[in-house]
Amino acid sequence: SREIRLASRPQGEPQPSNFELAEVDVPDPAEGEIAVRTTFMSVDPYMRGRMNEKSYAQVFEIGKPLFGGAVGEVVASGAEGFAPGDVVVHQQGWREYATMPANHARKVPAGGVPESAYLGVLGMTGLTAYVGLLDIAGLKDGDVVFVSGAAGAVGSLAGQIAKLKGHTVIGSAGSAEKVAHLVDDLGFDHAFNYNDGPVGKQLRAAAPDGIDVYFDNVGGEHLEAAIFSLHPFGRVALCGAISGYNAKELEPGPRNLHLCVGNRLTLRGFIISDHQDRFGDFAREVGAWVASGDVKFRETIVDGGIEAAPQAFMDLLRGANVGKMLVRFG
Ligand code: NDP
């Protein structure tokens, strides 16, 4: 079996030389363990942080395999309740086969939804959108909502949930094709390409009367623009700040933070692993929307298995994806 290891810590944008492909023996499962063959693995922006020496999530070690969300098929089981052929979600991505305690894996419900969805719209990124919008931003009737990174995994669901709950929703993304997808396929009221001009100006044009909630996936210029547009008592869910993930030097923060005082704004960060207690509510509500077709989910699936994973991750950081970025194993 093969796995991807961290060869060195990236300085700025990750390079192929930061990754290393290695051959390993995968042990047979002992009692209480299962062996799983990867079918899909997730690449996620937060993995960039884990490649640094410090991150909010457990950091990757040089010379050791990377890890992260994956789905796979049980090929051997020493654990009660798990049998070959079962499909599970687990955290041992970046490898072709993995042996793990069965309680580190969750069985995927049998049903009409493709298994890859449990890494995206019905998995970690979906829960992030749900919790960020409803609990962290405290969405309430009448809110006008702005979502950045809106064509990505988290942003596309956050915007659709707000639409399904009756809100006016504005999205930003990095290409004309993505902007068209937001409006034509996902039902956003307005969308703009942040590469077309200053974010503040484009946001004011899309929401001339201002906004109440900002779901921030991007940070930087987007956050500053949102602070200018937020109404008194507006709320920001600080979910991510991808515009700075590859920066070698810290960039200056929003220059208008003082407006948070007079406008009584709330800017609240969150990490989804603290909110697993919401998984049941999320799976019921969003699961029903996915089943009915009210929530649409795009996936950008890269074929080629383990060897294709580093490039897929690097491409994700450059915006090559629409919806959830995944690597498919043969
Ligand atoms: P996405 O599917 O949104 O993929 C990342 C996207 O970021 C790209 O498609 C690209 O789209 C955009 N991007 C890249 N560089 C820039 C830039 N300089 N400015 C603006 N946009 C940029 O990933 P996810 O949905 O998985 O993650 C979205 C955000 O949510 C990230 O910030 C991530 O770190 C965060 N997150 C936070 C969690 C938490 O617990 N707090 C959990 C999961 C995710 P484009 O073409 O539009 O530029």
| pLDDT per position as a tens digit, 229-263 | 999 999 999 999 999 999 999 888 899 999 999 99
Look at residue 134 and tell me if it is in a domain.
Answer: yes
Look at residue 290 and tell me if it is in a domain.
Answer: no
Pair (101, 216) in one structural domain = no
112 and 290 Cβ atoms separated by less than 8 Å? no
Q: Could you tell me if the CB of 290 is within 6 A of ligand 1?
A: no
| pLDDT per position as a tens digit, 27-79 | 999 999 999 999 999 999 999 999 999 988 889 999 999 999 999 999 999 99
Pair (108, 155) in one structural domain = no
pLDDT for residue 250: 87
Share of the chain above pLDDT 70, in %: 100
Look at residue 167 and tell me if it is in a domain.
Answer: yes
Pair (81, 22) in one structural domain = yes
| pLDDT per position as a tens digit, 1-34 | 999 999 999 999 999 999 999 999 999 999 999 9
The CATH number covering residue 33 comes to: 3.90.180.10
- Domain range holding 190? 124-273
pLDDT for residue 170: 99
Pair (6, 102) in one structural domain = yes
For the chain, the domain total comes to 2
pLDDT for residue 205: 98
CA–centroid distance, 148 to ligand 1, in Å, is 8
Pair (266, 172) in one structural domain = yes
Pair (183, 229) in one structural domain = yes
Look at residue 16 and tell me if it is in a domain.
Answer: yes
Look at residue 105 and tell me if it is in a domain.
Answer: yes
CA–centroid distance, 218 to ligand 1, in Å, is 6
Q: What is the mean pLDDT of residues 270-295?
A: 97
Pair (155, 197) in one structural domain = yes
> Average pLDDT of the chain?
97
Instruction: Please tell me the distance from the alpha carbon of residue 239 to that of residue 216, in angstroms, as a whole number.
Output: 6
| pLDDT per position as a tens digit, 79-138 | 999 999 999 999 999 999 999 999 999 999 888 899 999 999 999 999 999 999 999 999
Ligand 1, closest atom to CA 271? 40
Ligand 1, closest atom to CA 49? 34
Pair (106, 199) in one structural domain = no
CA–centroid distance, 80 to ligand 1, in Å, is 38
Position 301 pLDDT exceeds 90: yes
pLDDT for residue 181: 98
The CATH number covering residue 226 comes to: 3.40.50.720
Pair (269, 305) in one structural domain = no
pTM, to two decimals: 0.98
